[in-house]
Amino acid sequence: MYAGITPTKFGQYPITARLDAERALFHKTQQLKEVDWEIPIPVLDQEDLLAQSIDTSKLVPGAAAVDALGSCTANATAAHVAQLSVAAGKDLESIEVGFGGKVWRMSPNSAPANEEWAIVFYHLDTDQTNDASQEWPPTDCGSTGQYCCEFAVAHGLAKNYIVPHNIQGALLALQKGTVIQGAPWFNSWFQPDSDGFIDGDGSVEAFEAAIQSGVAGGHETCQRAIKQLAQSSTGAINLQKTVIAIRNSWSVKFGLDGDYLIHASTLNLLGHYIDYKQLVI
């Protein structure tokens, strides 16, 4: 069972999302299908870094040696980039980030190696802000899907990115590959049920109960599958009967070997409090 809340799961500073209407993606009446994208790197763990033999002070100049980071955006992006790149025919080990004359490459077998890749990505990504209060190091500030996509494009990891503006758009984007999502994380969601769901039955009542449990922070994860799709012949989607599998970065001990399930209806209820992005490789 997952240990629960720690102060290092989430970034410390909220960042206002920018309007990206020219990259918008909306579902209309397109017929969708259930998909299950393989993520070719192991489940990451942004905590227990020392147990993984990861010394952040040796990875990034000026960083303290810590046992956890609020680097969920970078971890979600690592899974996202790995899936899309390999699906596009790229070699996993060719996916690299680097600075100071050193390069980090993804690995098909080593979760710590990919976690180091994500930590370096996190450092370089946060440096884009030009605001010391929102850069790591020194502050474990967190980031956004927007910044991660902009960094990925600027450094040649992707050509561009698109922005699904609601859950229906995200389901459409999932037809082509994984999607990263940033959203509030509620205290009741730390313990998925025996089936892997964090949101009960996806009803309004379950969502209201999550709200009552309190917001723990903002969290970025990676949508990887439509496990169940309920869609009519006219294209209408029954969101409460549509189920999405999402890759987390809290080790294989969380949920279903590192993934969790959520109803599309819950993501719809989150409305403008949720953000979706998909890189174009």
Band of the pLDDT at 16, cuts 50, 70, 90?
A: low
Q: What is the sign, positive or negative, of the torsion defined by CA atoms of 160, 164, 169, 171? A: positive
Percentages of the chain per state (helix, strand, coil), in multiples of 5: 35, 20, 45
Asked whether the predicted pLDDT for residue 17 surpasses 90, the reply is no
Q: Which CATH architecture has domain 41-280?
A: Alpha-Beta Complex (3.90)
Residue 162 is given by DSSP the state E
Rounded to an integer, the average pLDDT of 174-196 is 97
Asked whether the predicted pLDDT for residue 8 surpasses 50, the reply is yes
Neighbours of 58 (CB within 10 A): 10
Secondary structure of residue 25 in the 3-state scheme: strand
Q: Which two tokens stand for residue 92?
A: 């996993």
CA–CA separation, 150 and 158 (whole Å): 9
Rounded to an integer, the average pLDDT of 204-217 is 96
Confidence at residue 25, expressed as pLDDT on a 0 to 100 scale = 79
Confidence at residue 2, expressed as pLDDT on a 0 to 100 scale = 45
Confidence at residue 23, expressed as pLDDT on a 0 to 100 scale = 80
Asked whether the predicted pLDDT for residue 21 surpasses 80, the reply is no
Alpha helix (H) residue ranges in 22-110: 56-59, 72-87
Band of the pLDDT at 264, cuts 50, 70, 90?
A: very high
Q: Tell me what the pLDDT averaged over the chain comes to.
A: 93
The domain spans of the chain are 41-280
Confidence at residue 19, expressed as pLDDT on a 0 to 100 scale = 62
Higher pLDDT: 2 or 182? It is 182
Q: How many residues does the chain have?
A: 281
Rounded to an integer, the average pLDDT of 172-198 is 97
Question: 186: burial class by Cβ within 10 Å (0-12, 13-18, 19+)?
Answer: buried
Per-residue pLDDT tens digits for 122-149:
999 999 888 888 899 999 999 999 999 9
Confidence at residue 178, expressed as pLDDT on a 0 to 100 scale = 98
Rounded to an integer, the average pLDDT of 33-52 is 97
Q: Which two tokens stand for residue 224?
A: 């990887």
Confidence at residue 1, expressed as pLDDT on a 0 to 100 scale = 37
